Structure 1
Amino acid sequence: MPAVAAVAVGVLMMGALAPPTAFAAAGPDTVQQGLNALVRTDGLPAALASVKDREGHTRTYTAGVGDLATGAKVPDDGQVRIGSNTKTFTAVVVLQLVGEGKIRLDAPVDTYLPGLVRGEGIDGRRITVRQLLQHTSGLPNYTDYDLQLRHYEPRELLDIALRHKAHFAPGTKWEYSNTNYVLAGLIVQKVTGRPVAEEMDRRIIQRIGLRHTYFPAPGDASVREPHPKGYTQDSATAPLRDVTEMDPSWAWAAGQLISTNSDLNRFFTALLAGRLLPAAQLDQMRTTVPAEGTFGPGARYGLGLVSMPLSCGGVSWGHGGSIPGYETRGGVTDDGRAANVAVTLQPIDEAAMEHVGKVVDTALCR
C-alpha cells in the first residue's frame, strides 16, 4: 500500500522455534544471509523472517536492530503492521459471505450500498463486487491524495476517492486501488450488521488460531506485543524517523491489521489448504489477471490474492503489504512451504524492494 503523503508518505541474531534436520544440514543459511544483506547493503534498520518447510518445521530469523535509539535487538517473530496483506483477510470474509449466499460476486455494488458510489465516470450500478476484489473497478486510489495525521472513518476515505474521476471503465483494465477494499469492507458491514474487524476476528483470526494478529481498535496507535520499531525516510539522504505509533484508520479494510511473519504463514497456508473457503470460492480467488505493474514480473492478481513465479519453478501465493514503517513480502506453495519477510522501513530504492522479494524466493526454493 502506498505511504500516506503526510507521514512519508549491526547486531545480528537468529533463533529457531523447532530446528529441523533439513535446515540444520543446509550449510550456510541463505535466508539469514539474505536478511543480513538487507541490513548491511540496503541499509534497512531491521529484517525478520519466518520460514516453514514441507514437513511443517518452522524457523524464525532476525537481522539488524529493533530500536535505532537504544540498539535493542529485534524481537524474535515480532509484530509488525502488515499493510495490504489485510486485503486478503477482507477478501476471505467477502468470499465466505458469497459461499453463504449473502453476497453475489457479480452483483453491482449498488445492490449492497445503493446510491453511495457516484462520481465523474463512477457509478456503483456498473461496478461489481468481483471488480472491487480484483482491482478492475477503475476507482481512483484515495491514498494517492493527501491524507492528514488524524482518525478517518471509512466513508471519509471513500469521499476522497470520489472527488476524482474514474481511471477507466469497470472491467476494462487492472489497476491497484485501496478504495476497492474500503468498499469491500463497507459491503461486509452492511450485509452482516457488524464491524469488519469483528468479522475478520470471528471468521478467520479465532478460527485458525492467529494468536498475534489483530485489527487495532479506533484510536489505538500502538503495537501491542514485542515489535521492532518502524521508520520512514523522506529521501535517500534524509534521516530516519520513528513512525511506529500512528492511527492506522486511513488504511482500514485495505491495510490496518497487525500480525507476525509466523501468523501470516499460518493464515496463507490455511487459506490455500481450503480451511477458510469452500472449493468454489477458493477457485474464484485463485483466478487471476496480470498484475506486473505493481507486483513485478510474472505477477498475477486474483481476488485479494497474488501469485508470483518462483525461480525454482511453480508459483507462490500471498499478497504483501506496504505501510509507513514496515514492508512485508511472503508466499506459500501448494505443497506446504511458506515464507514471510518483514523489514522496518519502506524501501525507497527499487533494488532494495526487489531484494526483499528475493529473500522470500530463496526461502521457498532452497
Structure 2
Amino acid sequence: MFAKKVLFGIIIIVVLLSVSINGSFAVEHSMEITHALDKASSKTSSTTTPRLSDEQIRQVLVQRIDDWHIGVGIVVGIVSPEGRRIISYGKTGQENGSTVDQKTVFEIGSITKVFTSLLLTDMIARGEVKLDDPVAKYLPSDVKVPERDGKKITLRDLAQQVSGLPRLPSNLAPKDGNNPYNDYSTEQLFQFLSNYQLTRAIGSQYEYSNLGVGLLGEALARRAGKDYASLVNERIFNVLKMSSSNINTTTDMQRRLAVGHNAKLQAVPSWTWKSQALAGAGGLRSDMDDLLNFMAAHAGLSSSPLKAAMKQMLAKPVTTGNPNLDIALGWHILKHKDGSKLVWHNGGTGGYRSFAGFNPKTKTAVVVLSNVGDEKGVDDLGRHILDTRYELMEKPQAARQPTEIKIDPKTYTSFVGNYQLDVGPIIKITQEGDALFAQQDNMPKEQIFAEDARKFFSKLQDAQISFDADINGKSPSLLVHVVQGTFPGKRVEELLASAEKASIKKESSAPITSKAFDQYVGKYQLAPSFIISLYRQDDRYFAQATNQPPFEMAAQDKTHFDLPAVNAKITINLDSSDKAISLTLHQGGANQVAKRIE
C-alpha cells in the first residue's frame, strides 16, 4: 500500500522510535507478524499472575467493539488444566452479521507458519526429510536457490527465518491488491529464487520472511508429492480432529466465515489461494474449536501422534536480535526478565487478525480471533490473559474520518505521474477510467478517493495525498500524509532521466575501482533491528536496508555515493589505516551514522 512502508528514511525513524519490530501481514498484504514486544509491567515479580474471569474478558471485548470501535467480532479461547473457556462478543459482519462464537471461521494469517513448521518436524520424525537438508534438494533441478560463502539455505534456516531471503519476493505484483497472493505462482517463486543474490551470510541474522516460510511449505509439499493444502489436512487436521480448518474452505466453512473488515471497519474481500506457492506462510482458515484442539496439544494438555514433533519445534531456539525474543521452529518465544516464557505467534490478513500462544509452565493456551485486519486489540489481549504483567493497550486515538466527494475524473490527468519522496520511494499515480490509484515501489496499487479537489485519501488505512497546483497542466509535487508524518515528493519524469544520465557518466569516469569497493562490503548497523548491507555485483555497487529491496549506488569519489532511486547519499567513514569503520546515511536533512558490524 502506498507510503505505508517508505524506504530508508521513514523506516529508520520508525525503528528508532518504536519498541516493536514491525511487519504486519495485514497492513502491507505481507502476512507478516508484528513482534509485539511490549514491556511487561514491573508491578509484580511473581510468575503466578491473576486469572481473568470470563466477565472481565467479555468487558474488554465490549469496550473494544462498542466503545473503541477497533473490532467487529472477537472470539477468545482459553484451554488449561481446568478445561476450556470461550468468550465471544460481536458480529460476523457490520451489516446483517450473526453472533460470533466458537464455530465462526476466521482467516488466521501467519499462524499458518506454525503449522508449516509442525509439518517439517513431523516429516523429520517420519524420516522423510532432515532439518539441515538444503531446500534445493526438494525443488526442481533447474531452480537455482541462492547460496553464499559456500553455504546452502536449509529447511532449518527457513523455519527459523535466518535464511537471508527478504520479507517478500520483488516480483509479487498481484492483479488484485485486495487479494495479493491468489495469482502468485510457483513459476514466479522459482524465477525470483534463481535471480536473487543474498546480501548476508545464511544463518547470520533473523529477518521475518513470508517468502522463506512459503518456500518451506512448497518444498515439504513437493517432498510429500501433494499440494500444501492436502498435506496439512492429512498430517495435522485429520490427526487433531480439526474439521473446520483448511485453505480451500468447504461449503460449511464458507457459510460460517466471518466477513473481514479493514481498520476503518469497512468490509473487505477474503483472500483466496488459487496458487499455493506461498500458502505455507499464511493461507489457513480455522475456527476456535479447532485451534483449541491444536493449542491443547502444544501445551501438553492432550496427547497425539504429533507430540514428539511439537516438542522438537521448541528445541534450540535462536535469537532474533531482540533480547526479549527468540525464535524456535515456527514459534516465537517472548521472555520475561524473571525467566518465564510465552510461546506465541500472531497473524493478520486484509480483514482478520489472530493470536495464539501458550505458557509452557502453567500449561495454559490462549487464542484470540478478530474479523478486523488491524494490529490493535488482539495481541495484547492474548498476552495479558496468559500473563497479566503484560499490560493491555490504552484506548487508541480516533483517526480523522474524511468524507468522499465526487469530482470530475478529467482533473485526474494533471495528477498522473511519478513522484519521488524526499525521504522514501517513488509514488506512482495512475488513472483507470474514473478511478485514481497510488502505488509505491514493489507494492500493490490502491485506489484513492477525493475529499476535495486536490486531496485524496485511502479507505484502507490512515493515509492521504495532497497535490500541488498545476504548472503547465501537471501537478509538480505532492504531500503524502501518513501516521509517521507528512512527506513531500516531486514529479520525477525529467529528474529520473537526468539522474540516469549522471549515473552513467559517473560510472564511466570510474571514481572507485571494484577492488577498492570490496573493502567496504559488509553490514552497517543503524539501529538494533535496522542494518544497511553494502555489496557488489560485477562493477555495480548496491546498498540494501533491512526489509528493503537493493538500490544501486553511483560513486562520486572514493568514499561518497549517491542513491538516486531513494534520494539519499552514503559516505564511507575510514580510520587512519583507510579501513571502513562506519557509514553515514544522508537523507531528508538527517545524517545518521551506522557502525560496521561485519
Instruction: Give TM-score scaled by structure 1 length.
Output: 0.78
Shift of 1:319: 1.8
Q: Among residues 181, 184, 197, which one is paired with 2:229 in the alignment?
A: 197
With 242-251 and 203-212 compared, the bigger mean Cα shift is at 242-251
Residue of structure 1 in register with 2:238 after alignment = 206
Contact 1:47 1:342 in 2 (8 A): yes
Shift of 1:290: 2.8
Instruction: Measure, in 2, the Cα distance between the counterparts of 1:277 and 1:287.
Output: 19
| Structure-2 change in CA distance of 1:242 and 1:123 (3 Å) | farther
| Structure-2 change in CA distance of 1:147 and 1:26 (3 Å) | closer
With 307-316 and 101-110 compared, the bigger mean Cα shift is at 307-316
Q: Among residues 286, 293, 300, which one is paired with 1:266 in the alignment?
A: 293
Instruction: Give TM-score scaled by structure 2 length.
Output: 0.50
- Match for 2:324: what amino acid? G
Contact 1:316 1:333 in 2 (8 A): yes
Name the SS for the 1:59 alignment partner. Answer: strand
> Which consecutive residues of structure 1, in runs of 5 or more, have no partner in the other structure?
10-24
Is 1:185 equivalent to 2:212 in the alignment?
Answer: no
Shift of 1:135: 0.4
- Match for 2:205: what amino acid? K
Q: Among residues 71, 79, 93, which one is paired with 1:44 in the alignment?
A: 71
Instruction: Measure, in 2, the Cα distance between the counterparts of 1:196 and 1:28.
Output: 37
Instruction: Measure, in 1, the Cα distance between the counterparts of 2:31 and 2:387.
Output: 34
Instruction: Measure, in 1, the Cα distance between the counterparts of 2:363 and 2:31.
Output: 37
Residue of structure 1 in register with 2:25 after alignment = 2
| Structure-2 change in CA distance of 1:287 and 1:42 (3 Å) | farther
Is 1:336 equivalent to 2:363 in the alignment?
Answer: yes
Residue of structure 2 in register with 1:127 after alignment = 153
CA RMSD, Structure 1 to Structure 2 (Å): 3.5
Shift of 1:268: 2.5
Contact 1:339 1:363 in 2 (8 A): yes
Is 1:59 equivalent to 2:89 in the alignment?
Answer: no
Name the SS for the 1:212 alignment partner. Answer: coil
Shift of 1:331: 0.9
Q: Among residues 225, 230, 245, which one is paired with 2:260 in the alignment?
A: 230
Is 1:176 equivalent to 2:199 in the alignment?
Answer: no
| Structure-2 change in CA distance of 1:276 and 1:109 (3 Å) | same
Is 1:318 equivalent to 2:344 in the alignment?
Answer: yes
Shift of 1:318: 3.0
Name the SS for the 2:104 alignment partner. Answer: coil
Instruction: Measure, in 1, the Cα distance between the counterparts of 2:166 and 2:314.
Output: 23
Contact 1:51 1:340 in 2 (8 A): yes
Is 1:302 equivalent to 2:299 in the alignment?
Answer: no
| Structure-2 change in CA distance of 1:248 and 1:171 (3 Å) | same
Is 1:216 equivalent to 2:239 in the alignment?
Answer: no
Residue of structure 1 in register with 2:280 after alignment = 253
Instruction: Measure, in 2, the Cα distance between the counterparts of 1:359 and 1:289.
Output: 26
Question: How do 1:73-112 and structure 2 match up within 5 A?
Answer: 73-112=99-138
- Match for 1:101: what amino acid? G
Residue of structure 1 in register with 2:502 after alignment = none
Instruction: Measure, in 1, the Cα distance between the counterparts of 2:334 and 2:103.
Output: 24
Shift of 1:161: 6.0
Q: Among residues 351, 360, 365, which one is paired with 2:382 in the alignment?
A: 360
| Structure-2 change in CA distance of 1:260 and 1:363 (3 Å) | same
Is 1:166 equivalent to 2:198 in the alignment?
Answer: yes
Instruction: Measure, in 1, the Cα distance between the counterparts of 2:149 and 2:54.
Output: 56
Contact 1:38 1:356 in 2 (8 A): no
| Structure-2 change in CA distance of 1:298 and 1:264 (3 Å) | farther
Instruction: Measure, in 1, the Cα distance between the counterparts of 2:240 and 2:140.
Output: 34
Instruction: Measure, in 2, the Cα distance between the counterparts of 1:124 and 1:46.
Output: 50
- Match for 2:386: what amino acid? L
Residue of structure 2 in register with 1:288 after alignment = 317
Q: Among residues 60, 76, 81, which one is paired with 1:34 in the alignment?
A: 60
Name the SS for the 1:275 alignment partner. Answer: coil
Contact 2:146 2:152 in 1 (8 A): no
Instruction: Measure, in 2, the Cα distance between the counterparts of 1:43 and 1:339.
Output: 20
| Structure-2 change in CA distance of 1:187 and 1:103 (3 Å) | same
Contact 2:30 2:168 in 1 (8 A): no
Contact 1:306 1:318 in 2 (8 A): yes
- Match for 1:307: what amino acid? I
Structure with the largest fraction of strand: 2
Name the SS for the 2:378 alignment partner. Answer: helix
Q: Among residues 89, 96, 100, which one is paired with 1:70 in the alignment?
A: 96
Shift of 1:333: 2.4
